[in-house]
Amino acid sequence: MTITAAADGSALGNPGPAGWAWYVDDDTWAAGGWPHGTNNMGELTAVLELFRATAHIDDDLHILCDSQYVINSVTKWMPGWKKKGWRKGDGKPVMNLDLLKELDQAVAGRRYRFEWVKGHVGHVLNEAADARARGAAEAYQRGSAAPAGPGFPGAAGRGSLAVAAVEPPTLFTFDSSTRDIAEPEMSSAVNIPVTVMFTAVEHARLERRAADAGMSVEKLLRTLL
């Protein structure tokens, strides 16, 4: 059996509020985003999340994508980049390295093929993915929430989540006062402010883990201390 899905990304201002989405049908899709990212980040993440969402099944993937950058990255360029230590032919570092490394792992052992489709010409699946990716980006722009979609049937940790606007994820400060420090003469909790810096990709990963655990990012970080 072959699953046909469209994957698309969006960035308002490029860079700016960004979103990603993959779409099979109205009952099978997912979307998300960041307060600040690029269109290429959205496009790569859409494909990555599609592979993750279908990792529990053995079906072939037919991926409709309007980004030649994404298609070429996965099907042509990554092997050469890896041999060169993830550097391009001119020796410069590859852009979006974290996403590309995750994609490299996600596609290993999978059966898939890409089909390039021209964007914004009325292709039903592409337009559906594009609308959801842009909707996620607009949610971050206006400070509201957008549906993250039902996900793929049987996939672990996916549900009808909400994409909410938050402050840029480069800096995250929280109070670790919920943790008690057991010292001989210290019975009360100690308030220790902690500041952590994340990339947009790392923050998105934390958001997914927190959503899967049914808690906020701040609470998840506290459990890791």
- Amino acid letter for position 112: Y
Give the pLDDT confidence score for residue 216 in this predicted structure.
73
Return the bridge partners of 183, or none. Answer: 186
pTM over 0.85: no
Structural domains in the chain, CATH included, are: 2-150 (3.30.420.10), 172-224 (no CATH)
Asked if the model's pLDDT at residue 14 lies above 80, the reply is yes
Judged against a pLDDT cut of 60, whether residue 146 lies above it is answered with yes
Sign of CA dihedral 142, 163, 218, 99: negative
pLDDT above 70 for 214: no
In 10 A of CB 150, how many CB atoms?
Answer: 16
Say how far apart CA 114 and CA 2 lie, in whole Å: 12
Q: How far apart are CA 7 and CA 47, in angstroms?
A: 6
pLDDT tens for each residue of 152-201:
998 875 433 344 333 333 344 444 444 433 333 434 444 555 555 555 55
**Any idea which residues carry the catalytic annotation?**
8-9, 43, 66, 120, 130
In tens, the pLDDT along 41-98 reads: 999 999 999 999 999 999 999 999 999 999 999 999 999 999 999 999 899 999 999 9
How crowded is residue 94: how many other Cβ atoms within 10 Å of its Cβ? Answer: 17
What number of CA atoms fall less than 13 Å from residue 12's CA on the CB side? 18
pLDDT at 103: 97
